[in-house]
């Protein structure tokens, strides 16, 4: 296996998964692939069905509301990469045997509320209690959307010459969860205001609005060619994944990557580079050069900042990053440094 913490790595996906996906069906247009957030199945009448699945969170150090938020919005972020909002949801809950009925009622009420807020109908699933279950992963879920085939995007559709845009800041979710999990340490080392702002940024970890604003009311005319959610590997990892998924090269200007003070300060405490660690809440967007200003303007109209950071290039140009006036191949790691930082702080007894 490529790594022991976090998602299955690139090599393992290619070697163990890609050629072992059951029966081949011609209507499956996009199946499992490194760097792709959704699958697409063609339906009659020019329609397509998009599907995405993720673990469900149940993290005591964050709380029931925050765990439900992550459970819903991390799936919604993946679906947002189609340029559409999720419509239907299936949830499989494998809960600790010690989980009380009152806590379940609270947790599920939040799941229901957050799904309702973004227009998701919960259509079924499974709920059970498991002896010895003490993981922060409480099962899994699937979101589904149906829409016109020609308007559904994936990260595979980036094209040479496209401009690469990044919304908000690098490291949003890493900084937020670390500040909420180790509040005393962050207050002592970065100040009360940084800890408060980082904690509040937890609810900026949705990138659904980023995607919907980017494509606007007429997705076909928006100039947006591809979208990719930022999760493990951070913003730089997500850009790398998009280039690989689309079969292209790229160049990224590291100095242009947006890193806000709050995220930079919290990540510094845990010896993390915010550009490389889990960054849910930010969205990678590629668009045609002539549409860059209009995409940025639509995002700004919704209160979302956006930075132009690079360009998709032909495959033969390689996967490059420009730093301090020099360009070199970008390194990619299957293991996100956030996990080691979190568990190191936990073992040290940081509060």
Of the ranges 136-140, 234-238, 309-313, which one carries the lowest mean pLDDT score? 136-140
Evaluate if residue 179 carries a pLDDT over 90: yes
Residue 1: per-residue pLDDT: 43
Q: Report which DSSP code applies to 16.
A: I
pLDDT digits (tens, 9 = 90+) for 265-298: 999 999 999 999 999 999 999 999 999 999 999 9
Q: What is the mean pLDDT of residues 243-265?
A: 97
Phi–psi pair at 278, nearest 5 degrees: -45, 125
Model confidence at 15, in pLDDT bands (50, 70, 90)? low
Q: What is the pLDDT of residue 125?
A: 96
- For the segment 31-49, the average pLDDT, to the nearest whole number, is 95
CA distance 207 to 72: 12
The pTM score is 0.93
Two tokens at 303?
């209160």
Query: 74-88, 139-153, 201-215, 328-342: which range is least confident on average?
Result: 328-342
Q: In this predicted structure, what is the pLDDT of residue 334?
A: 80
- Average pLDDT of the residues of the chain: 93
Domains in the chain and their CATH numbers? Answer: 16-151 (3.30.1330.10), 155-347 (3.90.650.10)
C-alpha pair distances (Å), 203 with each of 93, 96, 177: 23, 26, 11
pLDDT band per the 50, 70, 90 thresholds, residue 6: low
The contacts of residue 156 (CB under 8 Å, 6+ apart) are 30, 33, 36, 226, 245, 246, 247
Q: What is the pLDDT of residue 10?
A: 67
Query: How does strand 137-148 pair with strand 88-96?
Result: antiparallel
Tokens read off for 150: 């020609």
pLDDT of the residue at 66: 96
Token couple for 63: 């709380």
Contact of 55 with 42, CB cutoff 8 Å = no
Q: Tokens standing for 61?
A: 């150090």
Confidence label for 2 from pLDDT (cuts 50, 70 and 90) = very low
pLDDT of residue 182: 96
User: Could you tell me if 65 and 36 are in contact, meaning their C-beta atoms sit under 8 angstroms apart?
Assistant: no
Least confident of 21-30, 85-94, 256-265: 21-30
pLDDT tens readout for residues 294-326: 999 999 999 999 999 999 999 999 999 998 888
Work out the pLDDT band at 54, boundaries 50, 70, 90. Answer: very high
C-alpha to C-alpha distances, 162 to 90, 159, 246, 292, nearest whole angstrom: 35, 6, 12, 9
The number of residues making up the chain comes to 351
Among 52-66, 124-138, 224-238, whose mean pLDDT is lowest? 124-138
The pLDDT assigned to 132 comes to 81
- The token duo for 86 is 């999720």
Count the Cβ atoms, other than its own, within 10 Å of residue 193.
11
Task: Give the DSSP letter string of 142-161.
Answer: EEEEEEEGGG---GGG--TT
């Amino acid at each position: 296996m490529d790594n022991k913490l976090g998602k299955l790595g690139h090599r393992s996906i290619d070697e163990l998964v890609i050629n072992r996906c059951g029966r081949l069906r011609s209507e499956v247009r996009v199946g499992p692939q490194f760097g792709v957030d959704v699958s697409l199945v063609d339906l009659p009448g020019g329609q397509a069905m998009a599907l995405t699945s993720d673990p469900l969170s149940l993290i005591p150090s964050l709380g029931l509301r925050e765990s439900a938020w992550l459970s819903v919005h991390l799936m919604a972020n993946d679906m947002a990469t189609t340029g559409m909002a999720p419509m239907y949801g299936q949830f499989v809950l494998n809960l600790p045997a010690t989980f009380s009925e009152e806590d379940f009622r609270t947790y599920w009420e939040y799941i229901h509320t957050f799904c309702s807020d973004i227009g998701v109908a919960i259509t079924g699933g499974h709920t059970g209690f498991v002896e010895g279950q003490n993981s922060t992963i409480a099962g899994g879920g699937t979101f589904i959307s149906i829409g016109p085939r020609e308007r559904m995007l994936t990260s595979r559709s980036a094209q040479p010459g496209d401009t690469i845009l990044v919304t908000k800041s690098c490291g949003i979710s890493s900084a937020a969860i670390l500040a909420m999990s180790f509040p005393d340490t962050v207050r002592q080392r970065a100040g009360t205001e940084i800890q408060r702002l980082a904690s509040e940024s937890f609810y900026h970890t949705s990138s659904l609005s980023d995607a919907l604003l980017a494509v606007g009311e007429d997705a076909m005319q928006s100039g947006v060619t591809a979208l990719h959610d930022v999760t493990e590997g951070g913003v730089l990892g997500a850009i790398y994944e998009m280039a690989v998924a689309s079969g292209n090269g790229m160049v990224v200007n590291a100095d242009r990557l947006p890193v806000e003070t709050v995220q930079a300060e919290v990540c510094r405490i845990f010896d993390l580079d915010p550009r490389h660690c889990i960054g849910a809440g930010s969205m990678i967007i590629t668009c045609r050069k002539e549409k860059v200003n209009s995409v940025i303007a639509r995002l700004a109209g919704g209160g979302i900042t956006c930075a132009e950071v690079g360009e998709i290039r032909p495959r033969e140009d390689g996967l490059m990053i420009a730093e301090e006036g020099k360009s070199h191949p970008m390194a990619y790691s299957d293991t996100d440094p956030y996990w080691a930082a979190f568990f190191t702080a936990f073992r040290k007894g940081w509060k």
